[in-house]
Structure 1
Amino acid sequence: MRTRITSLISLLAVWPLFLFGADTNQTSTAAVPPKAFLFSYFTGNGEDGLHLAWSRDGCKWEALNDGKSFLTPEVGESKLMRDPCLLRAPDGVFHMVWTTAWKGKTIGYASSRDLVHWSAQQAIPVMAHERGALNCWAPEIIWDEKRGEFLIFWATTITGKFPETAGTGDDQYNHRIYSTTTKDFKTCSPAKLFYEPGFNVIDATMLRAQGKFYLIVKDETRNPPKKHLRMASSADVAGPYENLSAPFTRDWVEGPSALQVGDEYLVYFDAYRDRRYEAMRSRDLKTWENINDKISFPRGVKHGTALAVPGSIVEALLHPVPPKRD
């Protein structure tokens, strides 16, 4: 009799699934750990704006909001939102910067406390003073605890600068990394040269680890082809960055982002010729292992930023509270 009752209870428990189907888009509270990871990214040409994915372990990433955009671009020369870089400041506020156009002198900026409700977007004219500036690509932002300010850095080509490497990149581009600082995103310091490795360089990103700051960059040299990632280090977030490593990825990759997961460091990047994301893993930032077979990303992911966040933030994005009605 007990067997029959148990079988009946089991059947009743699963019967709703036959009627309505399992809800594969929902994640239980128990499934989100106290510490989780977010990945900000764009798709296509960046027309529809910010996309977010989340992960429990830094390897398997799932799209949030059913893969739909969280924020539509409204500012800049082309009103795009490419290369969105997301930072959670010490006060819990998220700050985001992004590429607004293929050619132009501005970067985009907005802030949010919950990644759903955003401040008014701004186009910050970081290179307006440089008549020969062609572009502002892949801006990134980090909090400078020592100086109590935000450091923003990006890649720009200024016509006529660095003639020794002219013609080594794509088209007329010959990039270096520039930077500005701000405390309030209302006023910014004059842009200045931040990193000059002696070659065409783009897609700088930063990792804080082992008491140092590591600057990961793409060697954008096309003639002869390089297009791989290298790393320099500094004791100060503001630099100077030295001890440039040998390449630690294959060629023809871009858009790196670094994340610490436990005692390991992961560097994700876009293998754009193969239209997929790949990753390398290290424990000492010297010896690297390919972990492509261990990672998965939502379809169409392009250049973004990985960061650790409290699990409660992911939980709120997975299960938003409906607005109250009067």
Structure 2
Amino acid sequence: MNRSVKYIVLAFVSVLILSCKTSKSVYMFTSFREPAGGGLRFLYSYDAYHWNALNHVFLKPEAGNAKIMRDPSIAQGPDGVYHLVWTTGWKDDQGIGYASSKDLLHWSAQQHINVMAYEPTAVNAWAPELFYDDEAGQFIIVWASTIPNRFPKGEEPENNNHRLYYTTTKDFKAFAPTKLFLDPGFSVIDAEIVKRAKNDYVLVMKDNTRPNRNILVAFSNNPLGPYTNYTKRFTEMYSEGPSMTKAGDNWLIYYDSYRLKRYGAMRTTDFKTFTDISDSVKVPEGHKHGTIFKVTKKQLNLLLKERG
């Protein structure tokens, strides 16, 4: 590369970085660290590729017997309030945690919502994910649960044969009866809904069967399904906790590659072809399963100030 071309490239990169940092919104990534008793953490990014840790616990878990917080998921309602749900126990826990906040700093009293209480043999309620359905004006909460001897299984034991369930709510006070969300014919966990356009939804999920344990997506014209046209598994084995966000024309799918002890990332424009960009992203060590959303720079500055 000659010197003049090199300078042009460096100038372009500098402008791109400056543009990202001066934009009005910032990407946030909910996070937790092991052991899971610590609580809610955040990463932030100006470009959705390079992430920084805030290194502060913003909410310590109190809901549920185990007093842990795994898989924190946040969605913002049309009134600006942030709603948070999380996993409160590995097993023998049929509920999920819930709290809300107007600024991500001051939180409501925590609740333990017994979403699977109607199924007395349900083993768990894992990785709840929030999605705001702007067309129906309601929140959808999707999670994975095992009900032994309910569904055909592969090599995994009965207490690890998951299907997806859901409930809906408008105010987090009244909840619709829990229903089966997805039975794809295999054990499935870690599902997240994303809306591409009106009547165009994508569901990213983990195939939790042995020996797969990797990630795929499916499609629907309704956030509640049914979902069809499943893609091939497009990540390496031992991948979980997928999280999606859009950056420019690209969709980025982050995931925990737990056997490799790193965070991986795939880039796609159509959810049909996927490019591995794991070596081009920066995710702080220790970050675990969360969801990505956006805040204003003013909101980020408040979080940075709280971190001290």
TM-score (norm 2): 0.90
**Residues 1:200 and 2:190 are matched in the alignment:** no
Tell me the equivalent position of 1:101.
89
Segments ≥4 residues shifted beyond 4 Å: none
Q: State which structure, 1 or 2, has the greater radius of gyration over its C-alpha atoms.
A: 1
Task: Give distance in 1, aligned partners of 2:144 and 2:172.
Answer: 19
**Residues 1:54 and 2:54 are matched in the alignment:** no
Please state how far the C-alpha of 1:189 moved relative to its aligned partner: 1.1
TM-score (norm 1): 0.85
Tell me the equivalent position of 1:148.
137
Change over 3 Å in CA distance of 1:71–1:283 after alignment to 2: same
8 Å Cα contact 2:251-2:269 kept in structure 1: yes
Matches within 5 A, 1:1-326: 31=21, 33-64=23-54, 67-103=55-91, 104-162=93-151, 164-165=152-153, 167-169=154-156, 172-211=159-198, 212-222=200-210, 225-320=211-306
Task: Give distance in 2, aligned partners of 1:119 and 1:248.
Answer: 39
State percent identity of aligned pairs: 45
8 Å Cα contact 2:241-2:255 kept in structure 1: yes
Task: Give distance in 1, aligned partners of 2:159 and 2:115.
Answer: 21
Change over 3 Å in CA distance of 1:57–1:31 after alignment to 2: closer
8 Å Cα contact 2:147-2:159 kept in structure 1: no
Task: Give distance in 1, aligned partners of 2:247 and 2:181.
Answer: 28
Task: Give distance in 1, aligned partners of 2:87 and 2:306.
Answer: 28
The number of aligned residues is 288
Look up the equivalent residue of 2:96 and give its one-letter code.
Answer: I
Please state how far the C-alpha of 1:58 moved relative to its aligned partner: 0.5
Q: Which moved more, 1:32-41 or 1:310-319?
A: 310-319
SS in 2 for 1:319: helix
8 Å Cα contact 1:168-1:174 kept in structure 2: no
Task: Give distance in 1, aligned partners of 2:251 and 2:189.
Answer: 21
8 Å Cα contact 1:151-1:181 kept in structure 2: yes
Deviation readout 1:72-122 (Å, 9 max, x if unpaired):
000113111000001122211110100000011010000011111000000
Q: Which moved more, 1:140-149 or 1:266-275?
A: 140-149
Look up the equivalent residue of 2:178 and give its one-letter code.
Answer: A
Task: Give distance in 2, aligned partners of 1:75 and 1:228.
Answer: 30
Deviation readout 1:240-286 (Å, 9 max, x if unpaired):
11111111211110000000011100000000112211100011211
8 Å Cα contact 2:72-2:291 kept in structure 1: yes
Tell me the equivalent position of 2:5.
none
Q: Which runs of 5+ in 2 are unaligned?
A: 1-17
Please state how far the C-alpha of 1:311 moved relative to its aligned partner: 2.3
SS in 2 for 1:318: helix
8 Å Cα contact 1:32-1:315 kept in structure 2: no
Task: Give distance in 2, aligned partners of 1:84 and 1:134.
Answer: 20
Task: Give distance in 2, aligned partners of 1:296 and 1:306.
Answer: 15
Task: Give distance in 1, aligned partners of 2:262 and 2:22.
Answer: 26
8 Å Cα contact 2:74-2:291 kept in structure 1: yes
